[in-house]
Amino acid sequence: MSQGSICKFILLMEQITAQKGFKKGFSLIVAVSRNGAIGFEGKLPWPYIPKEMKHFSETTQFIDTDQVGIPDAQNAVIMGRKTWESIPLQNKPLRNRLNVVLTSQVQQFKQIPKRLEIQKSLGEALTALDKNDNVREVFLIGGTQMFAEALTTYINSCKLLILTRINKDFVGDTFMPTYDSNNFQLIHQSKTFAFGDITYDYIYLGNKSLIKQIPTFLYQKYQASPEFQFMQYIKHGSTLSKTLQLDIDLTETFPIFHGVQLNDILPNIQLRFDQRGDTIREPEDYTKLLSHDGKSAKLTDRVLSISYSKAIKLEEIPQIIGSECLLIKMLAKGSKCKSIEKVQFKFESIIEGCENEKCVVENECQPWPIIEMKESKGAFQASDISLINYFP
């Protein structure tokens, strides 16, 4: 058999395997800017974000507790040659993981250290890892060409997309390839984090045909975002419970739910602030001002709990949360009291149904923005409030 015939045969076998799928499957993990950039001049397009790099490291290293007792159990990371070259020398190979580099230029690797394998194609790499009993989870970490192949040729084996959404545009020279979103469904979304003027979150998109094969530990590291919990309640929760509790962290970002505009809630908040803004002198004053109209408030340290005993329409909840949080921010800015770090909303009686189509989102919600407020001795104006990385 000629060399050309052998190559054609290998390619045919890879195509057949791709259609059937690989036993272990794989997850694709990548950080993406708002305009789709994933790299620039061999580096990340955005400044170094320690928490984001920790997320990547911990996610790709984590072994399920059921597998801890297995000797030499580890995960594998597959990458293209350029991605390998972009890793600092002192970090090669990535520790506690089997590193697999795809390249036809094997001769460049004069010495192959432990935890490093060289494969000529993605198909060969996935085949080899399927046979390796020590490998638990497989992660694809870059670059664009491999991602594109994984999301087309090997889509039947791609069980999970783990995306860090950097909620800002950055200049890039490599971009996330497009893919058929109909193959995936949102199964988890983290809260929004902030680093300087950059906001970001983590979303987990599961392959609809492989949902049962996705270990929950891959996407339950982060508490679900309040907006994701709200959307899940709309879809499923209201049939199980009339009560909904959402915890809003105000330390980094501001809760703007889908369909809510800042200008929609500001006039009402302005009136309430004008009437009560000068009465905040002690932390307990928050509870006095917010305990009315069928709701009660309790303050513990910097956590404010607000319970609504009266019936609330489901579609009103996003605007209620935005309004109360904005008022709390305005009150804190206009007083000498320590700011509230978290607000726990508890809706004890919810009227089912959501007539306003704006309160229903079929796909993932956008990361929340950062709020900045100017010092104001008198009434707050719209111009005193700005939202960073806000894309209504």
- Per-residue pLDDT of 10-57, as tens digits, reads 444 455 455 557 999 999 999 999 999 999 999 999 999 999 999 999
Beta carbons of 94 and 50 less than 8 angstroms apart: no
CA atoms within 13 A on the CB side of 13: 11
What is the C-alpha to C-alpha distance for residues 122 and 11, in angstroms, rounded to an integer? 11
Nearest to 257 by CA among 115, 136, 156, 358: 358
Buried b / exposed e across 245-259, counting CB within 10 Å, b at 16+?
ebebbbeebbbbbbb
On whether the pTM is more than 0.85, the answer is: yes
Q: Which pLDDT value is given to residue 10?
A: 46
Rounded to whole angstroms, what are the CA distances from 259 to 73, 298, 316, 389? Answer: 46, 29, 11, 16
Q: pLDDT tens across 215-227, in order?
A: 888 888 899 999 9
Beta carbons of 100 and 80 less than 8 angstroms apart: no
Token look-up 């939202």 returns 387
Q: Which pLDDT value is given to residue 104?
A: 87
For residues 273-300, give the mean pLDDT.
Answer: 66
Of all helices (H) and strands (E), which one includes residue 349?
strand 342-351
| Chain-centre distance for alpha carbon 166 | 9
Spell out where the chain has E strands.
26-33, 37-39, 74-80, 97-102, 116-119, 135-140, 158-166, 174-175, 184-189, 193-195, 198-207, 244-249, 295-300, 303-313, 342-351, 370-373, 385-388
Q: Which pLDDT value is given to residue 168?
A: 96
Beta carbons of 231 and 246 less than 8 angstroms apart: no
The verdict on whether 44 is a catalytic residue reads yes
Q: Name the phi and psi angles at 120, rounded to 5.
A: -85, -20
Does position 279 have pLDDT exceeding 70, yes or no? no
Domains of the chain (ranges; CATH) run 16-223 (3.40.430.10), 230-388 (3.30.572.10)
Q: Which of 28, 44, 304, 326 is catalytic?
A: 44
- 162: tokens are 């783990």
Q: pLDDT tens across 353-365, in order?
A: 655 545 555 567 8
Residue ranges of alpha helices (H) inside 220-354 are 226-235, 262-276, 285-290, 317-333
Q: Which of 14, 28, 52, 262 is catalytic?
A: 52
